[in-house]
Amino acid sequence: MCAGVPDAELMVLERAITDLHVEPRGAIVDEGEPALHMFNVTAGTVKIYKLLPDGRRQIIGFLMAGDFLGLAVRQSYAYSAEAVTQVRLCRFPRKKLEELFERYPMMEKRLLGLAATELAVAQDLMLLLGRKTAKERLASFLLMLSDRAKRLGHTSNPVALPMSRTDIADYLGLTTETVSRAFTQLKNMKMIRLETTSQALLLDPDALRAITEGGA
Amino acid sequence: MCAGVPDAELMVLERAITDLHVEPRGAIVDEGEPALHMFNVTAGTVKIYKLLPDGRRQIIGFLMAGDFLGLAVRQSYAYSAEAVTQVRLCRFPRKKLEELFERYPMMEKRLLGLAATELAVAQDLMLLLGRKTAKERLASFLLMLSDRAKRLGHTSNPVALPMSRTDIADYLGLTTETVSRAFTQLKNMKMIRLETTSQALLLDPDALRAITEGGA
DNA sequence: CGAGCAGTTGATGAGCTTCAAAGGTAGTGG
DNA sequence: CCACTACCTTTGAAGCTCATCAACTGCTCG
């Protein structure tokens, strides 16, 4: 049911857990709300993002099966979360979770490890946003999705792009037009082929990897 | 001695702890090295950064007294760290730290809290790098330094800028020239005054705050 | 089949970078 | 103590990448 949490420990939480289903474009949490729950994504893709008052948006992550939502959180959510595809999550109250920690301190260690991983990912994204060109950003993004799909046991070469061009743009700090042009560039360089707009075949992953770091 | 760690618990580590002094521009850790130690900054300013093979650099954080270095870390360091000013740190082996956690699970909770805070800071920086203009970035930076100085009990209004323009640029995802021009813009708008190049007087913090979010 | 939206392509323009040089500031040696 | 040097910062001019504005294409769905 709720992957990522060991069954024995899960029993304690069981009554408090809710299995949520959310349709595409459905809101999951809103920035600024009191952070009452933590979530674990069990299926589908979720985007988490921050907004500026004038509407500019930065997507700070795409969450997929196994990812936690609400780690980075203190009193209130620091970001909003919305379903990209149909999503299944399991939701548990943070308060109950704290009780669980009292009994199973081991879990805290696991969360710390997850937080460390998230931080490393965040730092890679900072490098991307601060210093990479549009083409480099897109190449990095495609490889990241591919690696992630592989880890989840999905097909990693024609890589699935469940999110819209607008979402990709808001993740990479670009506009949809620039993202589209970057796709075209990579196509012209024979490094990818778009099977459909939401499925990219990576023709030369090594060359993509090179682009990622400035190798063209 | 080593601020941030309770005295009683500290005893266990005591033998393994080293009190380090590092001169400006001195390396503390290098990206890719095995992550044997964790550090706690006790005085001075440290920059942590990532590099692309061609030399482009992104500073992902400035650490000051009380900040931990090595949280985001798994097997090897994910970034390099270098002293900006004269720095004092206390260094302890990660291995010993794990032992400590066995005995004082409480500490793990504190680290988790620190990691959550770091993640929130990282996400703010992503929004800045992905979506803010040069002027907005600099305004955000100055206010961040000011808030931080206040928390540390330093003078928060003429705010100290211990790092070079190049470092500011590499933190904000800009060039030194653009940072300099942004300073000039804020000066012309009567929002700041540079007492020296490394000390900025915030003439109108509220207006700066407004700029931060697109209010001009 | 047609309407509407997402994505692509094109033309123009803005903001930032790059290249270049002058102005400041700090440290050094006479 | 002052002058010299070297580096850091600021300013200026030109260029480039990406954003903006606009039109077109193609897909999805009623």
Q: What percent of chain B has pLDDT over 70?
A: 93
Residue B10, pLDDT score:
60
Low-confidence residues of chain A, pLDDT below 70?
A: 1-15
Least confident of A100-104, B7-11, B163-167: B7-11
Q: Which residue is nearest to nucleotide D18 (CA to C1')?
A: A178
Is the separation of the CB atoms in B213 and A53 below 8 Å? Answer: yes
Q: How many CA atoms lie within 13 A of B128 on its CB side?
A: 27
Residue A1, pLDDT score:
45
How far is residue A37's CA from residue A91's CA, in Å, rounded to a whole number? 6
Q: Is B73 on the interface with A (CB under 8 A)?
A: yes
Residue for token pair 């674990």: A40
Read off the pLDDT band of B5 (50, 70, 90).
low
Among the partner residues A126, A172, A215, nearest to B122 by beta-carbon distance: A126
Domains A7-125 and A133-212 belong to one CATH topology? no
CATH T-level topology, domain A133-212: Arc Repressor Mutant, subunit A (1.10.10)
Q: Which tokens sit at B103?
A: 């005995």
Read off the pLDDT band of B1 (50, 70, 90).
very low
Q: Which residue is nearest to nucleotide C9 (CA to C1')?
A: A181
Q: Is B10 on the interface with A (CB under 8 A)?
A: no
pTM of the model as a whole: 0.94
Mutation pick from A119, A167, A175, A212 vs chain B, by most beta carbons of B within 10 Å, is A119
What is the end-to-end Cα distance of chain A in Å, rounded? 45
Q: Is B187 on the interface with A (CB under 8 A)?
A: no
Domain ranges across chain A: 7-125, 133-212
Residue A5, pLDDT score:
55
**Tens digit of pLDDT for each residue in A121-153?**
999 999 999 999 999 999 999 999 999 999 999
Architecture of domain B7-125: Sandwich (2.60)
Order of strands, edge to edge, in the sheet holding A87-93? A18-22, A87-93, A37-43, A68-69
Calculate the angstrom distance between C1' of C5 and CA of A165.
13
Contacts of residue B22, Cβ cutoff 8 Å, sequence gap at least 6: B28, B44, B83, B86, B87, B88, B89
Query: Do the strands B68-69 and B57-63 form a parallel or antiparallel pair, or are they unpaired?
Result: unpaired
What is the pLDDT of chain B when averaged over all its residues?
91
Residue B14, pLDDT score:
66
**Tens digit of pLDDT for each residue in B65-109?**
999 998 877 789 999 999 999 999 999 898 888 787 777 777 788
Read off the pLDDT band of B173 (50, 70, 90).
very high
How far is residue B94's CA from residue B16's CA, in Å, rounded to a whole number? 10
Architecture of domain B132-212: Orthogonal Bundle (1.10)
Q: B126–A127: do the CB atoms touch at under 8 Å?
A: no
Q: Is B110 on the interface with A (CB under 8 A)?
A: no
